[in-house]
Structure 1
Amino acid sequence: MSDCNSVSVPEVHLMDRGPSRLRIPPAMDVPVTARVQRLIDTSPMRRLASISQLGLVSMVYPGAMHSRLEHSLGVYTWALRVLNQVGQQSPVEQGSANQIAEDMRASESFIVASLVHDAGHWPFCHPIEDMGQSGMPRHEERVEAMLRSGPLADALAADWSCTADDVMAIVCPKKIDQYPAATSSEHIAFYASCLSGPIDVDKLDYLQRDSLHAGVPYGRNFDPMRIIASLVRHPDRPKLAIHEKGRTAAEMMVFGRYVMFSEVYWHHTVRAATAMLQRAVHELQQSAGGEKADITEWMDLSESAWVRQFVDAADRRGGPVKSLADGLFGPTRKLLKRAAQFNVESGEDMHQMLARRPYWWLASCSQPLATSIGDAIGKPVEPELVLIDAPPVKLEVDINIDIVLRSGEVATLGDVSPVASVLANRQFDNHVKRVRVFVPEWVRDRLADLPGDSMRRWLTDAVAETEKQWA
């Protein structure tokens, strides 16, 4: 597989010397050619400016209000740096016109994919996708529709040598069979690993950017330029690897990601808000009094407009759904409180019992759990306000990037790093994503007077009853 000569790609060539550039935090210059500007100016990309990158995280970290557009521009900039690095390792042989054209097409596909990979996002997309609701398109499917029809498709056809199949095969490499018109599968596999893998341009951007805006240091305590300088093509497979000289930077990035999940993305208050949003969305999609909200109709809205639709639908539904929506977006924040939590250290049996269950199953399980809690405290508790928050079905991407040793041999990061080994072998998700039960504050206060193992017994009984119900 021959490589793209990076200086042939205008965006890479102008990376450090272009006259037109955007400035985004933290002091990052984004090189913008005319064709990139035309992509940014399309309505799907402009809409990303009205959608926050971290959604409900701002309820705990008020500064975390940066947009999906800012993140997309950052990913695009890191993609150019990756192209510049890997393109210098094996220049294209002169005289192979077809190969040069194929390499250029693959590189352009990667540039476009890095810029538009989040174009299909809607407000609070990730927590709603984690619910696995039937009939709910994933954001990648929406990206594909945009690349085949509409302003993004027009800009792609007018300015770029790549096709929608090329771009989507990088965005969704597991579905490459659905994109038969894509260029060389080796090119696709390599650039797909640059966009989504143990170390990729997406994580290089969001870890630092989210950490910056949240006002915490955890996602910035690694050396991104050292990682870029250490990137290499895997000697045996079409995927990204890292030279041994970048091992320490890679270790720090992996650990930074671990801490960001633990302290920011899965902070217990962030998860309380997330669980409230998910349960309200779940209830709004159930028929009640003849009205059932179709939230797929809200996907093209700005975040503020989406919240208005959500609150209005919850007001019409009333009851606990209105209470959840008001607690999230009303004039006074009123979140449910943590009544119990379990991870693989503090409660492995409970974690295994509830992690990666379908969302509808967890919602069903809250009914018998609410009954047990109500009996214990002597007052009924609405099951819609007893929320079981657990790691979703989908696991996080593997952290075990391949390391090319100075000897030329290849090992995984876990083979050469004790820090990465622990995280890789003991499953990243099970440590940072806890099982939690959230209840109204008055319920939490009454539970404080009961034996400490009460919630464990009630959950065990609720799981058994739910399994029997859906057997």
Structure 2
Amino acid sequence: MSEIKIIRDPIYADIPLNGSELSLIDTPEFQRLRNIKQTGLTCMVYPSANHTRFEHSIGTMHVAGEISKNLEDVDRELIRIAALLHDIGHPPFSHTLEICGYNHEYITRKKIKKMDFESYTPNEVIDVLQSKGFEGALLSGDVDADRMDYLLRDSYHTGVAYGSIDYARLIRCMVLLDDIRPKLGVLGKGLIAVESLLIARYQMYPTVYMHPTSRIAEIMLKNATIYGLNEKLFNLNDLSTMDDIDLVATLRRSSDEECNKLIKMLDKRHLFKNILTFRYDDLTPEEKWLLINLNEEDVKQLEMELSEKLGTTVFLDIPDYPKINEHNVTVIIDNKRYKLDEISPLAKNLKWAYMKSWDVRVYIPPEHYKLLKNENKFKENNKKEVIFDCIRKKHKKSMMLDIMQNEGVIKGRGRLLTIAKEMGMSESEFLSELQKLIFCGLIKENVVKVRGTYRYDYAINL
């Protein structure tokens, strides 16, 4: 039997590791994570938020192993190894620099394919990370080990009073559901524990993950990195081997004036200013649809047009819309299955509260802030024109919206999926577009109780 060693962790106390796990931790691919911050530039706001992907990955491994203890027919060691390696493809500063097509999940798979394992093939580990089989449901599901660890860990290291979840009860109440695609469910007695996770996620979103100051800093770093790529200081693939220290040191050597300026400003915490904010309720459904469908190239083009229009550098901050996967978790009560939103009024209300915390921001250099802020173009009556005059021509059509306009009302998600497939959409495209349309308010989803069960009906909401 492999020798067991103990790692001391501030969240879980003792985390046991066997020899094969330790050998993976000692690889260069994993050790790189010691210098990649878990929460990007959140440390600009919360000075103690210097924790890294290294300890998060070990924590995720521990949580996944604890969940698997209560489940039958799963390979616990395979789950732990996949959880340990799930983030080795992250670029410096984590999600902040998933830019220009960089995909940390793809890079993770590439790295795993080159690694040696004592008892498994690389493809077996990759299959878990791609949610193939029961094991994958623990790492990429509606409520998973990754999410539990980062909420607990990020809360601890930022020092905020949010992020607390009833972790021990939640994992005791988890069960595997043998559906077409295996997934985790929660027993009814764990309902309040799931709700605690939703509350934690909702509170952490505006106070930590989308804090206004860290958002500005991260947009500045992202643009400095893009300047560095354009200058050929490094290429996109180099981000898979660099850590935070490598990247910042490289950008400081840039001869590009804009790149150099941004890094010096970050070094001094001399940040851009937010001159415009478009909150969820400030925008029409059509305007939200326009914004969330802009790709990176669209955003850069729009920034150039706005910069020319305003006479200064302009950066746009358009976050991904909240996907809120936790609300899809299945809860088992009296041997019947329910979606969380169907039986939890708290979850249903939090879903919309979470969505409405989303906003879009426009940043300019601090030296131009006061001058432009006082100009008429930023008055309440016409501030939308500043951005939407440049954006309306980028309208993206929606096949599903066309379906809904023809049908008016569709009873049952299955029927809507069938029609979408007949129009050529895959199931993944269907789910993604439906989620976007509901978020924007272009389609309204109603949960209807029918003979002891629930049905999802959809109506056009224009």
Using the size of structure 2 for normalisation, the TM-score is 0.78
- Which of 327, 333, 357 pairs up with 2:265? 327
How far 1:293 sits from its partner (Å)? 4.3
1:339 corresponding residue in structure 2: 275
Distance in structure 1 (CA, Å) of the matches to 2:283 and 2:29: 44
- Which of 131, 140, 144 pairs up with 1:200? 144
Q: Residues 221-260 of structure 1: matches in 2 within 5 Å?
A: 222-234=165-177, 236=179, 238-260=182-204
- Which of 38, 45, 55 pairs up with 2:40? 55
Distance in structure 2 (CA, Å) of the matches to 1:368 and 1:142: 33
Going from structure 1 to structure 2, the CA distance change for 1:363 and 1:396 (only over 3 Å counts) comes to: farther
Q: Residues 241-390 of structure 1: matches in 2 within 5 Å?
A: 241-286=185-230, 293-313=234-254, 316-318=255-257, 320-328=258-266, 330=267, 332-348=268-284, 350-373=287-310, 380-381=311-312, 385-390=313-318
How far 1:194 sits from its partner (Å)? 1.0
Is 1:37 paired with 2:22? Answer: yes
- State the Cα deviation string for residues 38-82 of structure 1 (Å, max 9, x = none): 111111111111211112111111110011110011011101111
Going from structure 1 to structure 2, the CA distance change for 1:189 and 1:423 (only over 3 Å counts) comes to: farther
For 1:431, the aligned partner's letter is K
1:80 corresponding residue in structure 2: 65
Distance in structure 1 (CA, Å) of the matches to 2:347 and 2:191: 10
Secondary structure of the equivalent of 2:276? strand
Query: 8 Å contact 1:120–1:141 — kept in the other structure?
Result: yes
Going from structure 1 to structure 2, the CA distance change for 1:398 and 1:230 (only over 3 Å counts) comes to: closer
- State the Cα deviation string for residues 112-149 of structure 1 (Å, max 9, x = none): 101111112221231222x3x14x3x222222222222
Query: 8 Å contact 1:356–1:391 — kept in the other structure?
Result: no
Distance in structure 2 (CA, Å) of the matches to 1:409 and 1:274: 45
Q: Residues 128-139 of structure 1: matches in 2 within 5 Å?
A: 128-129=97-98, 131=99, 133-134=100-101, 136=102, 138-139=103-104
Is 1:444 paired with 2:369? Answer: yes
Query: 8 Å contact 1:390–1:433 — kept in the other structure?
Result: no
Going from structure 1 to structure 2, the CA distance change for 1:419 and 1:444 (only over 3 Å counts) comes to: farther
Secondary structure of the equivalent of 1:240? strand
Distance in structure 1 (CA, Å) of the matches to 2:104 and 2:158: 24
Secondary structure of the equivalent of 1:242? strand
For 1:62, the aligned partner's letter is P
- State the Cα deviation string for residues 12-40 of structure 1 (Å, max 9, x = none): xxxxxx96210011352111112211111
- Which of 99, 121, 132 pairs up with 1:163? 121
How far 1:250 sits from its partner (Å)? 0.4
How far 1:454 sits from its partner (Å)? 3.9
Deviates more, 1:267-276 or 1:25-34: 25-34
2:79 corresponding residue in structure 1: 110
Ranges in structure 1 where 5+ consecutive residues have no aligned partner = 1-9, 12-17, 88-102, 174-187, 374-379
Query: 8 Å contact 1:231–1:243 — kept in the other structure?
Result: yes
Query: 8 Å contact 1:234–1:404 — kept in the other structure?
Result: no
- State the Cα deviation string for residues 301-356 of structure 1 (Å, max 9, x = none): 2321221012223xx111x332222222x2x1111111111232233454333224
How far 1:236 sits from its partner (Å)? 4.7
- State the Cα deviation string for residues 171-222 of structure 1 (Å, max 9, x = none): 123xxxxxxxxxxxxxx332212101221000110001001101102111x2
Is 1:404 paired with 2:332? Answer: yes
For 1:23, the aligned partner's letter is R
Is 1:453 paired with 2:381? Answer: yes
For 2:319, the aligned partner's letter is P
Ranges in structure 2 where 5+ consecutive residues have no aligned partner = 397-462
The percentage of counterpart residues that share the same residue type is: 28
Query: 8 Å contact 1:170–1:192 — kept in the other structure?
Result: yes
Going from structure 1 to structure 2, the CA distance change for 1:312 and 1:397 (only over 3 Å counts) comes to: farther
Question: Relative contact order (C-alpha < 8 Å, sep 6+): which is higher?
Answer: 1
CA root-mean-square deviation: 2.5
How far 1:254 sits from its partner (Å)? 1.2
Q: Residues 134-145 of structure 1: matches in 2 within 5 Å?
A: 134=101, 136=102, 138-145=103-110
Secondary structure of the equivalent of 2:316? strand
Query: 8 Å contact 1:26–1:209 — kept in the other structure?
Result: yes
For 2:157, the aligned partner's letter is H
Distance in structure 2 (CA, Å) of the matches to 1:292 and 1:33: 40
Going from structure 1 to structure 2, the CA distance change for 1:142 and 1:367 (only over 3 Å counts) comes to: closer
For 1:259, the aligned partner's letter is Q
Distance in structure 1 (CA, Å) of the matches to 2:298 and 2:385: 18
How far 1:165 sits from its partner (Å)? 1.3
Secondary structure of the equivalent of 1:86? coil
Query: 8 Å contact 2:143–2:326 — kept in the other structure?
Result: no
Deviates more, 1:193-202 or 1:450-459: 450-459
Distance in structure 1 (CA, Å) of the matches to 2:295 and 2:239: 23
Secondary structure of the equivalent of 1:170? helix
Distance in structure 1 (CA, Å) of the matches to 2:126 and 2:12: 30
Query: 8 Å contact 2:112–2:122 — kept in the other structure?
Result: yes
Using the size of structure 1 for normalisation, the TM-score is 0.77
Query: 8 Å contact 1:262–1:432 — kept in the other structure?
Result: yes
Going from structure 1 to structure 2, the CA distance change for 1:235 and 1:292 (only over 3 Å counts) comes to: closer
The total of aligned residue pairs comes to: 391
Distance in structure 2 (CA, Å) of the matches to 1:293 and 1:432: 36
Distance in structure 1 (CA, Å) of the matches to 2:153 and 2:304: 40
Distance in structure 1 (CA, Å) of the matches to 2:211 and 2:284: 19
Query: 8 Å contact 2:65–2:79 — kept in the other structure?
Result: no
